[in-house]
A and B are shown apart, each in its own frame.
Chain A
Amino acid sequence: MSLTTAHSVVAPSSNAKLIAGTIIIAYALISIVPLLWIFATSFKTPPDSIAYPPKIVFQPSIEGYCNLFTTRTRQTPEYINSLGPATGVCDATVRKRNMVIAGPSNFLPRFVNSLIIAFGSTFCAVFLGTLSAYGFSRFKVPLADDLLFFILSTRFMPPIAVAIPIYLMYREIGLSDTALGMILLYTAVNVSLAVWLLKGFIDEIPREYEEAAMIDGYTRLQAFWRTVLPQATTGIAATAIFCLIFAWNEYAFAALLTSGTAQTAPPFIPTIIGEGGQDWPAVAAGTTIFLVPILVFTILLRKQLLRGITFGAVRK
């Protein structure tokens, strides 16, 4: 009789762990390398950024960031020498390329537009989404299933398919190239996602909580605010991140409907390429800065996302 050793049927074997680990590391590398490359490029000088073979080790420079935030004019060396000493690091950097700073670029206002429009629309979508999801979850809404399907169906169509009609409408009612117009548009696109995600989360919260609060002397709105909302934070955080990522990254509507005052960063960044040669470090710098808010937002909400629904005082 051969000796058999007991093995767990639940715990993965060491081979399985090794394979899983390898796959995860490979996937992580594939995802993170482009980001690292962009980050590295943003600190290269323009010649380093197009060097062949590509430089892994290089002398870091903030030229890309200087170029991103400024507009510059090319001058003769005589003129530059006639100027006083450089007023700052950026000034000194661009003078080496025979340029002087003419003024700030449009990047900062475009970035601010992005912040206002993305966070504004995320707030609206999550706010409206939470209220509608609560309604669909708790009340007998006539034709609820059809309404929910209708809300979902707005998601079926590629947004760009309605871009032209929206462009014409917006031009007619004066919403073209305004932050308000973009907030409304992104809210409209995101609210369907928000309703569906949040309905799932709110369905999970037992209605006994509100009932207890309503018996204890609160109105439904107070009960919602004090008992449902604190428990839905996980879902709200997750939904907000999804909405924000969409609004932040959105390019097609932004390119079509904004051109000046309300232009967001995504359509702006590619225009850097056209200004005085292919300034890859400036593009990479813009992209790097563009990544920061979404990164910070996700890290801030990480706790809510991870906390999960595991802490219930309700026994099922």
Chain B
Amino acid sequence: MAEIRVQNLRKAFGAFVAVQDSNFVVEDGEFFVMLGPSGCGKTTTLRMIAGLELPTGGKILLGGEDVTMRRARERDIAFVFQLFALYPHMNVRRNIGFPLLAQGMPSAEIRSRVEETARLLRIDHLLDKSVSGLAGGDRQRVALGRAIVRRPKCFLMDEPLGTLDTEFRDLMVHELRELHNRIHATTVYVTHDQMEAMSMADKIAVMNHGVIEQFGTPREIYDRPATMFVADFIGSPPMNFLKFGGGLAKGAKEIVVQGAKVAVPEVREDIAPADMALGIRPEHIRFDDGSKLRGAIYGTEYLGTTQIVAVETADGIIKARVPAGIHLSPGEQVGLALSSARLSLFEKGTGRAVRTAMYDRAAEARHG
């Protein structure tokens, strides 16, 4: 096992830049998820780490060794593909043993290693079956088996659960994390599904248009989004944005949105007058008739323990997550109270989050 260090990594296909100056470190034994919409460059980054694509610029270090230009087979990594890529002309045993065969391992040893791996994944009863007859979850386990049998430096997974049914997917998310907890293999996992990312990752990098928008723990990314893109991409429903104008002065603790004063975490920098946005997670909105920020109920989505309420305000619809018990009827006027300590401020032009007291802890955590 080894750490993965990516420095100024860049990949261009002609004029199209798929990955721009990526920098991140995956610590030894960490479960790292690259999250982003399709076409954001996450798979390209993964393929460069694997050696399936050569970077246009930058460096990739595996366990301190520069492997940037090395062939895939010389990197000692394992890759799980979205389509599993199980060889249809081989049975489960031969599929799992295939990487060991490449090393010229004696067949008795291959046999015992394959069986050990199959037991770990609880597919030992399938070893002599053909891969074509397997259910999705079992195929996934075979693909994982082929990856872990060799005990490589790290695992790379490209949306490995993307083609599974929801039922299997939840099961496999659990199994993958459990497997990781047992073998502590450095893992880079690519997905567009925020639920997978949030539930499995130690660290997440959120990517968009070839750029890493934010790198951090699931908690940091959800609570303190670095950009409007991250705030919008993570969370279901995503963060609400209310626009406000004017600049911000260092030390400000209040802004004016739609004529209402809203307390915010203390601002840590001066911002010249520009279009700004206030970001509010749906669960940080309460109904309070005393509030000056008002709207009309547009619709509700009942979820059992909570409900998502769409409220039409002067600045469009915002969504609130409130207890399911509250009864609301469409058209009803409500006042909205916001949890001041949990609000984010963004510069609309760049999408960047304004530094506020809320981010202090993050900075402390990173330097501490």
Question: Does residue B98 face the partner (Cβ distance < 8 Å to A)?
Answer: yes
A209 touches B132 (CB 8 A): no
Taking the nearest CB of chain B, how far is it from the CB of A22, in angstroms? 38
B73 touches A314 (CB 8 A): no
Chain B 57-89 per-residue mask, 1 if CB under 8 angstroms from chain A, else 0: 000000000000001110101110101111111
Bound Cα distance from A226 to B132, whole angstroms: 17
B79 touches A313 (CB 8 A): no
Using Cβ atoms and an 8 Å threshold, which residues of chain A touch B350?
A: none
B81 touches A211 (CB 8 A): yes
Question: Does residue A212 face the partner (Cβ distance < 8 Å to B)?
Answer: yes
Q: CB-nearest residue of chain B relative to A314?
A: B83
Chain B 146-157 per-residue mask, 1 if CB under 8 angstroms from chain A, else 0: 100010000000
A215 touches B78 (CB 8 A): yes
Bound Cα distance from A214 to B78, whole angstroms: 10
Known A-B contacts A211-B79, A215-B50; the reply to A313 vs B139 at CB < 8 A is: yes
Using Cβ atoms and an 8 Å threshold, which residues of chain B touch A219?
A: 73
The residue among B51, B71, B85, B99 with the most chain A CB atoms within 10 A of its own CB is B85
The residue among A217, A222, A230 with the most chain B CB atoms within 10 A of its own CB is A217
Question: Does residue A218 face the partner (Cβ distance < 8 Å to B)?
Answer: yes
8 Å CB contact of B85 from A208, A222, A226, A230: A208
Chain A 205-231 per-residue mask, 1 if CB under 8 angstroms from chain B, else 0: 010110111111111001000110011
Bound Cα distance from A215 to B85, whole angstroms: 12
A215 touches B52 (CB 8 A): yes
Using Cβ atoms and an 8 Å threshold, which residues of chain B touch A211?
A: 50, 52, 72, 79, 81, 85
Known A-B contacts A213-B98, A313-B131, A313-B132; the reply to A231 vs B88 at CB < 8 A is: yes
Using Cβ atoms and an 8 Å threshold, which residues of chain B touch A230?
A: 87, 89
B81 touches A218 (CB 8 A): no
B88 touches A315 (CB 8 A): no
A208 touches B131 (CB 8 A): no
Bound Cα distance from A248 to B52, whole angstroms: 43
A217 touches B73 (CB 8 A): yes
Known A-B contacts A215-B77, A216-B99, A217-B102; the reply to A313 vs B52 at CB < 8 A is: no
Q: CB-nearest residue of chain A relative to B98?
A: A216
A311 touches B132 (CB 8 A): yes
Question: Does residue B37 face the partner (Cβ distance < 8 Å to A)?
Answer: no
Bound Cα distance from A212 to B71, whole angstroms: 13
Question: Does residue B163 face the partner (Cβ distance < 8 Å to A)?
Answer: yes
Bound Cα distance from A313 to B78, whole angstroms: 19
B84 touches A314 (CB 8 A): yes
B85 touches A216 (CB 8 A): no
Question: Does residue A312 face the partner (Cβ distance < 8 Å to B)?
Answer: yes
Known A-B contacts A312-B88, A313-B132, A315-B163; the reply to A217 vs B103 at CB < 8 A is: yes
Using Cβ atoms and an 8 Å threshold, which residues of chain A touch B163?
A: 315
The residue among A212, A217, A227, A315 with the most chain B CB atoms within 10 A of its own CB is A212
Bound Cα distance from A234 to B84, whole angstroms: 22
Q: CB-nearest residue of chain B relative to A208?
A: B85
Question: Does residue B136 face the partner (Cβ distance < 8 Å to A)?
Answer: yes
Q: Using a Cβ–Cβ cut-off of 8 Å, how many residues does chain B contribute to the interface with A?
A: 30
Known A-B contacts A219-B73, A230-B89; the reply to A212 vs B79 at CB < 8 A is: yes
A312 touches B132 (CB 8 A): yes
B83 touches A206 (CB 8 A): yes
Bound Cα distance from A303 to B339, whole angstroms: 69
Taking the nearest CB of chain A, how far is it from the CB of B15, in angstroms? 16
List residues 246-265 of chain B with CB under 8 A from any CB of chain A: none
A311 touches B88 (CB 8 A): yes
List residues 223-274 of chain B with CB under 8 A from any CB of chain A: none
Chain A 231-259 per-residue mask, 1 if CB under 8 angstroms from chain B, else 0: 10000000000000000000000000000
Using Cβ atoms and an 8 Å threshold, which residues of chain A touch B83?
A: 206, 208, 314-316
B73 touches A218 (CB 8 A): yes
List residues 137-185 of chain A with CB under 8 A from any CB of chain B: none
Using Cβ atoms and an 8 Å threshold, which residues of chain B touch A227?
A: 87
Q: CB-nearest residue of chain B relative to A212?
A: B85
Using Cβ atoms and an 8 Å threshold, which residues of chain A touch B75?
A: 215
Known A-B contacts A312-B132, A315-B136, A315-B163; the reply to A217 vs B85 at CB < 8 A is: no
Bound Cα distance from A218 to B51, whole angstroms: 13
Taking the nearest CB of chain B, how far is it from the CB of A95, in angstroms? 58
Q: CB-nearest residue of chain A relative to B164?
A: A315
Q: CB-nearest residue of chain B relative to A222?
A: B102
Taking the nearest CB of chain A, how far is it from the CB of B143, in angstroms? 9
8 Å CB contact of B81 from A212, A222, A231, A311: A212
Chain B 119-142 per-residue mask, 1 if CB under 8 angstroms from chain A, else 0: 000000000000110101001000
Taking the nearest CB of chain A, how far is it from the CB of B9, in angstroms? 19
Bound Cα distance from A216 to B139, whole angstroms: 18
List residues 72-118 of chain B with CB under 8 A from any CB of chain A: 72-73, 75, 77-79, 81, 83-89, 98-99, 102-103
Using Cβ atoms and an 8 Å threshold, which residues of chain B touch A209?
A: 85, 87
A218 touches B102 (CB 8 A): yes
B88 touches A313 (CB 8 A): yes
B87 touches A313 (CB 8 A): yes
Bound Cα distance from A140 to B221, whole angstroms: 40
Using Cβ atoms and an 8 Å threshold, which residues of chain B touch A226?
A: 87
Q: CB-nearest residue of chain B relative to A316?
A: B83
B85 touches A231 (CB 8 A): no
Chain A 256-273 per-residue mask, 1 if CB under 8 angstroms from chain B, else 0: 000000000000000000
Using Cβ atoms and an 8 Å threshold, which residues of chain B touch A217?
A: 73, 99, 102-103, 150
B87 touches A215 (CB 8 A): no
A215 touches B136 (CB 8 A): no
B81 touches A208 (CB 8 A): yes
Q: CB-nearest residue of chain A relative to B149?
A: A216
Supply 12 further A-B pairs (C-beta < 8 A) apart from A217-B102, A231-B87, A312-B132.
A208-B81, A209-B85, A211-B50, A214-B73, A215-B50, A215-B77, A215-B79, A216-B98, A219-B73, A314-B83, A314-B86, A315-B84
8 A-B residue pairs with CB within 8 Å: A208-B85, A211-B72, A211-B79, A215-B75, A215-B78, A218-B73, A222-B102, A314-B83
Residues of B within 8 A of A (CB): 50-52, 71-73, 75, 77-79, 81, 83-89, 98-99, 102-103, 131-132, 134, 136, 139, 146, 150, 163
7 tightest A-B CB contacts, nearest first: A217-B102, A216-B99, A208-B85, A313-B86, A230-B89, A212-B85, A313-B131
